Structure 1
Amino acid sequence: MSQPEIRWAGPRALLIELDSLESVLAVHSRLQERPLRGQVNVLAAAQTVLAVFDSGTAARAARTALAYLDTAPATDTAATGDPVRIEVVYDGDDLAEVGRLTGLDPDGVIAAHTGQLWTAAFGGFAPGFAYLVGENETLTVPRRTSPRTAVPAGAVALAGNFSAVYPRRSPGGWQLIGRTASRLWDLNRDQPALLRPGTAVQYVAVRETVTLPDRAADDDAPAVATPQSTSHALEVIAPGPQSLIQDLGRPGFGDVGVSKAGAADTASARQANRLVGNAPGDAVIETILGGLTVRAHGELTLALTGAITPAGISGKDSTRTVPLCSPFALHDGETLHLDAPDTGLRTYLAIRGGIDVPEVLGSRSTDVMSGIGPDPLAAGTLLPIGPIDQGRTVGAAEPSTLPDAILRGSKEPVLLRITTGPRQDWFTPESQEALTGQTWTVTAESNRIGVRLAVGEETGQPDETGQPLERVTTDELPSEGVVAGSLQVPPSGLPVLFLADHPVTGGYPVIGVVVPEDLPIAAQLAPGTTLQFQTVDPTTLQSKQTPRPITTHSS
C-alpha cells in the first residue's frame, strides 16, 4: 500500500494527493463512510481529496491517521442502481471540433458518447455540476484555448477525459457537444443534485428540440417571505449597494458544488447576535458601504457591528445617533439609516429574534456565487422576525472586533497570518519570499467570493520593489478542493484571497492560506487598503518569520 502525500491546506484542512482517480474515489468513499473525528467536509477531485476539520487539533490528529489510510481502489467500483437517463440533442458548437480532435466524425462522437456508461466521480464549481468518467478514453479532449464568458444551462460538454452538464448559465472552457432538458440542480427535490458521486449516467441521443430557460441566476433562490403578521417586522426602505441575509453558512455540501457561504466576517455577525440575545447562528443583515435604511414594525431591539459606520434614527418628533457594538431600541415606525463607514467595509445588523426567512439546505445565508438562499434585499422587502428566546438576555456594550490597524484608519498595512499553501512549491523561491516580503493592495474588483490583490504598478503607486508572483512550472493544475482563506494565483501572478462564497474547487495553484482566525479581518478590507502576510506554522500558528515593524491585530 503506497503512502499518500498529505499537504496542509490551512491549519484545519488537509489535501491528500493520490496517484489515480480510482484511489481518489476509494479514499473519498472511506472518509464518507467512516469520518475522522472533527471532520466536517470531504471533497474529491481529479487527483486529490480535501478533508476539512472543525479545529486545528482535529486536523493534526487526522494527519497522523491519514498516513495509514488504505488508498487501494475498491475491488468493485461499478456504480450502483439504475443509470440516470439524460436525453441530449447533439448540436453543440464544438461537436465538429471534438470530432477532429478525436479522429471521429460528429456521428462517431455521438456514438462514443452514448455507447458507454458514465459515472459521477466528484462535484465541481457550481451546484449540481458533476465530473463524469466514462468506460474508455475515446473522447479525451483538451479544454478550449479561449473559455466562453457564458455557457447556457443544460449544455453537455467534454474536457480531458470527463463529461458534464452545466446546471446553470456560467463561464466555461469545456467543449460543447449538445444540450439537455434534464435539470441537474433543483431545490424542490429531496436530493437537489441529480448526480452525486457514484451515480451512473446513460446519455441518450434525441431529435426533439430541447428548450431550457437560460437562467443567469438560479431561480430556485427563494424571495424573502412576507410575514403573515407585520406586528414585528423590519421593512427595507433602501438596501444600499448590497444588503444580504447571512448566518453562519451551510457546511458539508462541497460534493455537490455548494460552498459554505455565510457571513464574511463571522466575528462581527456573532457579536451582533450576542448583543441582542440571539443564538450565534441566527440570521442577520450584512451590508456594505452604507446606505441601508430600514423601518420598524413593532418594538424592536437591534445592534450594529463590523465596519465603523455612523448611523442615526429618525422618528416623528426626534432624531438620535446609534451606538455601535451596543444594543439599542428601534421603536414602531422609526427609521434607521446607515451612512458610509469611516473604516472597514461590512456592517452587520442583528434584530432580537433573528430574521425568520426560509432555510435552504439548512441555512438562511445568501450565496451570491451559487445563487442559493434569499434574494438580495430590495426596497419594500418586509423581513419577518423570529420568536424571541426568553432564555437569552440582551447583552451589554462591547469593544469592536476589528483590529487596531482598521479601527484607527492606519496608513500602515494590515497584517494577515498565513500558512504555507499546498502548491507553494509551484512558485519560484523569489516569489515565495515576495508573498510575505512585499505590500499588497486590495482592489475594487473584490467581493464576497474573494479579495483581489495588486502590487507595484498594478496599484498605480510607485512601488518599484513590488512584483507579481511567478511559477516554476507551466503545467495545468487539475481542479482540486480549496478552503476559505486560500490565496489562489492565476496567470497574472496577482493573488485572490478566497472569502465565504468561494468556489469549492479551483484550477490555479494555492501558494498560501490565511488562518481562519484572521478571515474576519480580511472581510473588512476596503478597496485601497494595504496588507502584508506573515507565515505561521500550521500546527502552532506561531510565526516562522522575523517580526516586521508593522501594525498587528489582536487574535
Structure 2
Amino acid sequence: MSITAIHRAGHRSLLLDLSGPGTALALSSMLEAEPLSGQQEVLPGAGSVLLSFDTAASARRAVPVLRTLDPGELPPGTGKLVEIPVHYNGADLDEVAALTGLSREAVISIHCAHPWLAVFGGFAPGFAYLAATGGELFVPRRDTPRTRVPAGSVALAGGYSAIYPSPSPGGWQLVGHTNARLWSLERAEPALIQAGNRVRFLPAREHLPPLQTPESHPEGPTEPGADALEVFASGLQSLLQDKGRRDMAGIGVGTSGSADAASAAQANRLVGNDSGDAVIENLFGGLSLRAHGDQVLAVTGARTGLLVTSPGETGLVSTPAQDAPFLLPDGHLLTLGPAREGLRCYVAVRCGFNEPAVLGSRSTDTLSGLGPQPLVPGRLLPLGAAAGSRIVGHPEPGTVPEAGFAEPVFLRVIPGPRDDWFGSAGLERLCGQEWLVDAASNRVGLRLALPVGSLPLERIRAGEPDSEGMVTGALQVPPSGLPVLFLADHPVTGGYPVIGVVAERDVWTAAQLRPGTRIRFSLADEDAPVE
C-alpha cells in the first residue's frame, strides 16, 4: 500500500502520506487523470499529496476510495526533459566542495551526470524542488540566509537542487547561475519546470547575457472620459483583490484573493456585482477616490467614516453609511477615515474594475508579486460595462462589529495534519491559553506572540517534516513554538509542522484582527458546518 496515512487538513482538505516522492507524483498523476468526486486541487510534496475538495462532505467521501488506491512508483525516465545550461561560478561552490569532500570539478560533474526529478513546487512561482536520480550532493542550508538571491541562481540544499526564478531571500548553497527563464507570463505554461519533469543541467559554454529581471506588467490604458475611479490618496496599503487564483499551487502560485472574503462578497452584493468581482482592499483607511462619471459604491469591513466632497467652490459634504450602496457623483471625492475597529476595508463599485487579469485573477499577491501593482495616487482604475440586470442591494449589518471584537477573539481549529508532533499536551496548550496578534503580521500570515503567563508550543518529535502542501488557515509552528496562521497570500508549501487548521470563516475574522488583539483557540466539531 503506497498511501501510508490520511490526515485531515481543515474541513475540505486531506493530506496523504506516501512512501516517497515518486509515489506522490504517481498518485498526483492518477488523481489528475481521474479526479474524485468534488476534487478541486492536487498538490504533491516531498512524500505527501494535499487534496482539496469543494465541500467537507466530498473530503469525507473520498477517504474510503483513497484507501483502495495503489499508484505504485513513477516509472524511471518518464516526464518531459528540460535542459538547463549553467555557469558554475556560484558563491558557495567552494563551500559545497568542502562539505562534500569533493573537488569543484567533481561537484559539477555529479550535478550534471544524471537528470533531476521535479518532485514538487512551492516557495515562489516557478520554483521546483529537484530530487537526485543518481549521485547525491547532500549539503545543509547556509547558517545565515541571504537577504537577496539573484534570479537564475542554481542552488543545493539537503538532497535537492533548485533554481531561483526571481530575486528573493534564500538560504540554499549557490553553485552557479542560468539565464533560462523559469517563470514567464508570456508563455502558455508560465512555469518552465513542473512537477514530474526531468531536469538535466549542462555546463554553459557560451557567454550568457545578464541575469533576468522580473517581468513588468503595464497597466491597461484608460480612455479619457471613460467611467473610472481615480486614486487621490492610497492610504497605507490598497490592493485590488477578487476570489484569487485556483488550481495553480503545482507551479508555486497561491490563491491570494481578499483576506476577508465575507466583507469583499458583501461589498459586491451591495452594488449588484457578482460575489467574485474585484474590489479594493484597504488597510486602516486613508483611501481617497475620485469618480469619473456617476458611480455606485459600497464600503464594508473595518469600521470607518465615509466622507464625500464636491469639486465645486461650495465643497458640499455628505457622509454615506457603511455597508450600504451610495452614489458618488462625477468629480466627487470619497475619503475613508481612519479605521476605528477592524483592519481591512473593502470598496466595491457597480460593474467592477476592468483591470487586466493575471493568470485569471485581478488579485495582487504580495508574496509572489503577481497581479496588479498596489494602488498609488493618480492611478485610474477603469470600470467594466453593465451586464444584464444588476440589482443594487439593501443595507446590511456589518461583518465587523461597530463596537469591535470582544476580547479574546475565539477561533475554531481542526486538529492536524501534524498534531502528532505536539501530542495531546500541545493541543491543550494551544487551546488552553491566550495568544497575541504580533505587529509583524501581514497578508501572508497572522504571527502570534505570547502574553504574560503563556508558553510556546513544544514538539515531541525532533527534526523537521518534509516540505508539504499548505492550506489557508494552517497553524504552522516553527522551532520558536509561536504559531503562524496562514492567510490569503501564504506559500503553497512549507516545512514546519501544522498543529491545526482554523475554520474558513474564522480565517476571515482573523484577517481583521489588529496587532495586540488577544486570541483563544477552540477545537471545532469535525462534523459542524463551519466552512
Q: For the residues of structure 1 that align with 2:69 and 2:321, how far apart are their CA atoms?
A: 54
Q: For the residues of structure 1 that align with 2:64 and 2:492, how far apart are their CA atoms?
A: 25
Asked whether the 8 Å contact 1:311–1:338 carries over to 2, the reply is yes
What is the aligned counterpart of 1:224 among 207, 216, 219?
219
Are residues 266 and 212 of structure 1, via their aligned partners in 2, closer, same or farther at CA, if it must alter by over 3 Å? farther
Q: For the residues of structure 1 that align with 2:106 and 2:48, how far apart are their CA atoms?
A: 33
**Residues 76-118 of structure 1 deviation map (CA, whole Å, 9 limit, x = unaligned):** 242344x322111101111112222223200011111112122
Q: For the residues of structure 2 that align with 1:539 and 1:158, how far apart are their CA atoms?
A: 44
Identity %: 50
Are residues 450 and 22 of structure 1, via their aligned partners in 2, closer, same or farther at CA, if it must alter by over 3 Å? same
2:257 aligns with 262
Asked whether the 8 Å contact 1:169–1:214 carries over to 2, the reply is no
Tell me the amino acid that sits aligned with residue 13 of structure 1: S
Q: For the residues of structure 2 that align with 1:101 and 1:397, how far apart are their CA atoms?
A: 66
What is the aligned counterpart of 2:291 among 287, 296, 302?
296
Q: Is residue 531 of structure 2 the alignment partner of residue 536 of structure 1?
A: no
Q: For the residues of structure 1 that align with 2:218 and 2:345, how far apart are their CA atoms?
A: 22
What is the aligned counterpart of 2:501 among 513, 519, 522?
513
1:23 aligns with 23
Are residues 356 and 410 of structure 1, via their aligned partners in 2, closer, same or farther at CA, if it must alter by over 3 Å? closer
Tell me the amino acid that sits aligned with residue 309 of structure 2: S
Asked whether the 8 Å contact 1:421–1:486 carries over to 2, the reply is no
Asked whether the 8 Å contact 2:184–2:215 carries over to 1, the reply is no
Asked whether the 8 Å contact 2:110–2:135 carries over to 1, the reply is no
2:421 aligns with 426
Tell me the amino acid that sits aligned with residue 271 of structure 2: V
Q: For the residues of structure 1 that align with 2:268 and 2:167, how far apart are their CA atoms?
A: 36
TM, length-normalised to structure 2: 0.96
Give the 5 Å matches for 1:456-535.
456=451, 463-464=452-453, 466-535=454-523
1:138, distance to aligned residue in structure 2 (A): 2.7
1:312 aligns with 307
Report the secondary structure of 1:127's partner residue.
strand
What is the aligned counterpart of 2:135 among 134, 137, 151?
137
Q: For the residues of structure 1 that align with 2:293 and 2:211, how far apart are their CA atoms?
A: 41
Give the 5 Å matches for 1:233-252.
233-252=228-247
1:39 aligns with 39
Tell me the amino acid that sits aligned with residue 244 of structure 2: G
Are residues 77 and 62 of structure 1, via their aligned partners in 2, closer, same or farther at CA, if it must alter by over 3 Å? farther
Q: Is residue 124 of structure 2 the alignment partner of residue 126 of structure 1?
A: yes
Are residues 4 and 539 of structure 1, via their aligned partners in 2, closer, same or farther at CA, if it must alter by over 3 Å? farther
1:21, distance to aligned residue in structure 2 (A): 1.6
Structure 1 unaligned residues grouped into runs of 5+: 457-462, 543-554
1:541, distance to aligned residue in structure 2 (A): 5.4
Matched length: 528
Give the 5 Å matches for 1:261-280.
261-280=256-275
Q: For the residues of structure 2 that align with 1:178 and 1:29, how far apart are their CA atoms?
A: 32
2:332 aligns with 334
Q: For the residues of structure 1 that align with 2:285 and 2:218, how far apart are their CA atoms?
A: 23
Q: For the residues of structure 2 that align with 1:2 and 1:236, how far apart are their CA atoms?
A: 55
Asked whether the 8 Å contact 1:102–1:138 carries over to 2, the reply is no
Report the secondary structure of 2:175's partner residue.
strand
1:13 aligns with 13
Are residues 54 and 351 of structure 1, via their aligned partners in 2, closer, same or farther at CA, if it must alter by over 3 Å? same
Structure 2 unaligned residues grouped into runs of 5+: none
Q: Is residue 66 of structure 2 the alignment partner of residue 78 of structure 1?
A: no
1:88 aligns with 86
Tell me the amino acid that sits aligned with residue 171 of structure 2: G
Q: Is residue 144 of structure 2 the alignment partner of residue 146 of structure 1?
A: yes
Tell me the amino acid that sits aligned with residue 495 of structure 2: G
**Residues 302-356 of structure 1 deviation map (CA, whole Å, 9 limit, x = unaligned):** 0001111111000023101121110000000000001111100000000001000
Asked whether the 8 Å contact 1:89–1:208 carries over to 2, the reply is no
Q: For the residues of structure 1 that align with 2:15 and 2:325, how far apart are their CA atoms?
A: 43
Q: For the residues of structure 2 that align with 1:412 and 1:276, how far apart are their CA atoms?
A: 32
Q: For the residues of structure 2 that align with 1:272 and 1:410, how far apart are their CA atoms?
A: 20
Aligned CA-pair RMSD: 1.6
1:411, distance to aligned residue in structure 2 (A): 5.2
TM, length-normalised to structure 1: 0.92
**Residues 476-522 of structure 1 deviation map (CA, whole Å, 9 limit, x = unaligned):** 22111000000111111111100000000011111111011212111
Give the 5 Å matches for 1:87-106.
87-106=85-104
Q: For the residues of structure 2 that align with 1:308 and 1:500, how far apart are their CA atoms?
A: 21
**Residues 146-200 of structure 1 deviation map (CA, whole Å, 9 limit, x = unaligned):** 3222211110011222211000111222111000101100001111000112222
1:155 aligns with 153
Q: For the residues of structure 2 that align with 1:469 and 1:236, how far apart are their CA atoms?
A: 44
